[in-house]
Structure 1
Amino acid sequence: MKTKLTTLKRALTGLCGLYCSWAVASSSLVELDDTQLSATQGQALLSLSYISPHDQYNLETRRAGGDSSIGFYKLGLEANVEINANVRKLQLGCGGLNGINGCDIDIDNLALSGLKTDANGNMLPMTSDERAASSAQLSNPFIEFAIKSPDQASLREVVGLRLSAEKVVGLLTAGTNNTEANGINSLSGYLKINGYGNAKTSAGVFGLKPGEVVNTVADTAFLGCTSGCDKNAGLTAGYGNAKNTGLKIPAMTAPFQINNAVVSGTRMTAANVGAIAQIPSIPITDQSGQLGVRLNSRVCGLGLICVQDTFIKLNTTVDNLTANINFSEGLGYIHNLPISSAMYLGLQNKQLRWPGAEEVANPGWWLSLQDTVNLGDISPRDQVDISSVYPQFAQILGEKLKEDQYKIKVSIINGLQAFFQQGITKNISPINMQGESVNIALKNLILDTQNVTPNCYGGMRFC
């Protein structure tokens, strides 16, 4: 009996304490009038906002070709949300609006985790355990509806929906390995890319194929010239001449830079981005080989020595040539996207510019990153064959050799050497290619730093 009374006493005491505390708190509450309420500031967990079709912040109605009847309703969560997630297969918009073949978004082995950076914001490597223990940060996530004719109940229509956050900080990866295309199969969306790297080119031989012909001039008006004497005698050098062996071009390392390259479209399978590469000084010596030469007119000296076909060896360098690189990189070769950006996943039945967005989203599912994604070092793993640019190089070199400071000047001694089948060896001042560039097209390169760190504990590749 004593035990029961003790238990009852404790229960009554607890209830009394709860009631008494509430009563004391209630008695201390002060009623506020409207003026006092309007002057009071606070923060709610949920926020609601509306942008009307006539609002100055309505980017859809203000853009050329936009729909002036669309308003936006937004429900936001005023909080920071942490998330670590793995999705084995993400497919959105398969068939339907954009055609029966394919999906708007199709990604295998998608993982979202925290991001490790240095003091300058550059991504640092993580172990699998570090990544699995981290979380991406979503600041103020929200859901937003695009409503056509929002002020007319009979005509009101939902034309778009997006899930978004004011900022997402984390590492988004796709795929499981960097040895073959895997991960992103197709993507509809918008992002800007920064990156840098070093393209290691393979050695080659210039002047052995059609198109690798240097059309230029030489100064044959030497003392003792009796025929074919011309300060601008036309000649061709390279392919097509029996005495041609070509010029050896050594392997080089060319640094390149990608600045704010925009990747945008529906059901993309590749990212087409441009980069500028600085080609190192190219040495050409008499040990590099020889170009067969044919003069347009036969040149004679002293009326005795006549030459039209010969070969030439050069001692010079080619400096300050740049390359415009067009990367057509399959999205399956891009695995790591470090994110620090406003981000949204939208679905719309027409082209639509969401509030705050830089781009116009295409119909269907659409993934957008508003701030530039810094991919960091994206050097190709393997050597790059640049022989496809040799015809462009031949044309540029031919024009440069027409300039007086680089022009090949033939002497009577050169004529004698050519006559006795010794060819011509000329020293030319370094050829400055400042302002000249060649175009290089590269496709589906394995990138050296795009290895995937699993977002799993232990040794699993995906979990």
Structure 2
Amino acid sequence: MSATTGQALMSLSYIAPTDQANLDTSGDVGFYKLGLEAKIEINANIKKLQLGCGGINGAGGCDIDIDNLSLSGNVTSSSADRASSDAVITNPFLEFAIKNPDSASTRNITGFRLSAEKIVGLLTAGTNNDTANGINSLSGYLVINGNGTAKTLAGNFGTHPGETIYTVVDTTSIPLCTSGCGPNSAVTVGYGTSNNTGLTIPSVNAPFTVTNAVVSGTRMKSANVAAVANIPNIAITTASGQLGARLDESACVIFVACVKDTFVKLNTSLNNLTANISFSENLGYIHNIPISSSGYLSLQSQAVHWPGAAEVAQTGWWLSMQDPINLGEISPQDSIDISGVFPQIATLLGQKLAEPEYKLALGLGDGINAIFGAGITKTVSPIDLTGNYVSLPLTDLILSSQEITPNCYGTLKFC
């Protein structure tokens, strides 16, 4: 026997409630683990996966409800190639959570999980990317990474409620000004003024990133994911349009010619603006989940912190992937309307145009032009918005990268 070496096919282990490796805070749960020291290759399709319907989390729903679920190798080149590939499950194991493990009279099973040290493959749900389908509800834990480019629709700034700029201008250089002139003359610009056509904001391509976004909960139907987008510099020229301007107090020259309402045309650009995007995405629009992670599927009658897990599994069925899942390129398929952030831009512009570097200074020529209705044309240094953010909420976008490669031979979408 001493000359024999080898590896056990199966292994047994136990973590007592008092062991340092025990992460559960209840203090009375131990963990019994039966492991298989092997690699399993699998390619599987499940037409309908429903777990925990009714049950401990209430009637009228399922903890996990997924249509047309497929597990294969991470291959998307063709249906035939995917169907002939396998996911690899390394060292699978079964684990039990036992409450009061040292008491023969009161011990009981409070949960069990099917797990593995590593799962590598592609998990897909649903059959098409045109409508929400596939994941109907999910209880579990995922960490998501991704990146993409959001193309925005062109818009017209300054023509709707909220798109009003409140700032100040310097009118001290208007000669013979007898009233209403000063270094900080209050002015209202944009919506709510006369002679206002608004400014055309061009369509831009805004790259964004999703970094370690945690999606966790019970019977989730949507995922709330945060992303950061860097908005390209937005050029504003005299051809972009004009914003009406109204001085709070009329500026008068020798008590005769007074100006209160005029309009402004600008040559400038809005630089280095960042958008905090909050995606509220129906899980039915998430179809492709590439996996290279430890993970588990568990059922528990109380919240359990399984050994090695990053999160506490909640009551009922629970699906968890421990390592970040990189969804890759997740650009929205359609252009995005960003007019909802225009009021935020108006606030930022009001603050910036009051700063000495960007403040509009009106002189003799400006005063005369305004009096005769020609408006005011100004060139302003590019307005640096570094460190400033706008919030952009987005809901249920079709993602261009979520087309599904069927896990079937032939032309079937699901088999």
TM-score of Structure 1 vs Structure 2, range by shorter chain: over 0.9
Work out which of the two has the higher radius of gyration on C-alpha atoms and give 1 or 2: 1
Q: Deviations over 1:397-429 (max 9, x none)?
A: 100000011001111111110111111011101
Partner-residue secondary structure (3-state), 2:239: coil
Provide the rounded CA distance (Å) in 2 between the counterparts of 1:274 and 1:301.
53
Residue aligning to 2:67: 108
User: Are the equivalent residues in 1 in contact too, given 2:34–2:93 (CA < 8 A)?
Assistant: yes
Provide the rounded CA distance (Å) in 2 between the counterparts of 1:252 and 1:41.
65
**Alpha-carbon shift at residue 280 of structure 1 (Å):** 0.5
TM-score with structure 2 length normalisation? 0.98
Q: Which of 50, 54, 57 does residue 91 from structure 1 map onto?
A: 50
User: Are the equivalent residues in 2 in contact too, given 1:305–1:416 (CA < 8 A)?
Assistant: no
Over 6 Å off, 4+ runs: none
Provide the rounded CA distance (Å) in 1 between the counterparts of 2:32 and 2:174.
87
**Alpha-carbon shift at residue 146 of structure 1 (Å):** 0.3
Q: Deviations over 1:194-251 (max 9, x none)?
A: 0000000000000111111000000011141221111000010011112111110001
Q: Which of 1, 16, 20 does residue 52 from structure 1 map onto?
A: 16
Provide the rounded CA distance (Å) in 2 between the counterparts of 1:306 and 1:288.
28
**Alpha-carbon shift at residue 283 of structure 1 (Å):** 0.7
Residue aligning to 2:38: 79
Task: Give the structure with the larger helix fraction.
Answer: 1
Q: Which of 182, 187, 194 does residue 138 from structure 2 map onto?
A: 187
| Alignment of structure 1 residues 176-325 onto 2, 5 Å | 176-224=127-175, 225-325=177-277
User: Are the equivalent residues in 1 in contact too, given 2:174–2:362 (CA < 8 A)?
Assistant: no
Q: Which of 409, 416, 422 does residue 368 from structure 2 map onto?
A: 416
Provide the rounded CA distance (Å) in 2 between the counterparts of 1:91 and 1:346.
14
User: Are the equivalent residues in 2 in contact too, given 1:201–1:384 (CA < 8 A)?
Assistant: yes
Task: Give the structure with the larger strand fraction.
Answer: 2
| Alignment of structure 1 residues 141-156 onto 2, 5 Å | 141-156=92-107
| Alignment of structure 1 residues 112-127 onto 2, 5 Å | 112-116=71-75, 125-127=76-78
Provide the rounded CA distance (Å) in 2 between the counterparts of 1:332 and 1:425.
50
Provide the rounded CA distance (Å) in 2 between the counterparts of 1:308 and 1:428.
22
Letter in 2 for 1:354: W
Q: Deviations over 1:302-352 (max 9, x none)?
A: 444310001100000000000000000000000000000001000000111
Letter in 1 for 2:84: A
Provide the rounded CA distance (Å) in 2 between the counterparts of 1:286 and 1:302.
31
Provide the rounded CA distance (Å) in 2 between the counterparts of 1:106 and 1:112.
16
Letter in 1 for 2:191: Y
Provide the rounded CA distance (Å) in 2 between the counterparts of 1:109 and 1:454.
10
Letter in 2 for 1:371: D
User: Are the equivalent residues in 2 in contact too, given 1:301–1:412 (CA < 8 A)?
Assistant: no
1:438 is the counterpart of 2:402 = no
User: Are the equivalent residues in 1 in contact too, given 2:279–2:394 (CA < 8 A)?
Assistant: yes
Q: Deviations over 1:143-185 (max 9, x none)?
A: 0000011111111100001000000000000000000000000
Residue aligning to 1:373: 325
The range that moved more, 303-312 or 73-82, is: 303-312
Provide the rounded CA distance (Å) in 2 between the counterparts of 1:178 and 1:412.
61
Provide the rounded CA distance (Å) in 2 between the counterparts of 1:150 and 1:219.
79
Q: Deviations over 1:363-402 (max 9, x none)?
A: 0000000000000000000000000001000000100000
Q: Which of 126, 134, 155 does residue 175 from structure 1 map onto?
A: 126
Provide the rounded CA distance (Å) in 2 between the counterparts of 1:396 and 1:223.
27
1:132 is the counterpart of 2:67 = no
User: Are the equivalent residues in 1 in contact too, given 2:266–2:379 (CA < 8 A)?
Assistant: yes
User: Are the equivalent residues in 2 in contact too, given 1:280–1:320 (CA < 8 A)?
Assistant: yes
**Alpha-carbon shift at residue 300 of structure 1 (Å):** 1.6
User: Are the equivalent residues in 2 in contact too, given 1:305–1:415 (CA < 8 A)?
Assistant: no
Residue aligning to 1:29: none
Q: Which of 42, 59, 68 does residue 6 from structure 2 map onto?
A: 42
Partner-residue secondary structure (3-state), 1:56: coil
TM-score with structure 1 length normalisation? 0.88
Provide the rounded CA distance (Å) in 1 between the counterparts of 2:32 and 2:232.
55
Provide the rounded CA distance (Å) in 2 between the counterparts of 1:295 and 1:58.
69
- Report the aligned-residue RMSD: 1.0
* Count, aligned residues: 414
**Alpha-carbon shift at residue 42 of structure 1 (Å):** 2.9
Residue aligning to 2:287: 335
Letter in 2 for 1:49: S
Residue aligning to 1:9: none
Gap runs ≥5 in structure 1: 1-31, 61-65, 117-124
Residue aligning to 1:360: 312
Identity %: 61
Partner-residue secondary structure (3-state), 1:59: coil
Q: Deviations over 1:10-31 (max 9, x none)?
A: xxxxxxxxxxxxxxxxxxxxxx
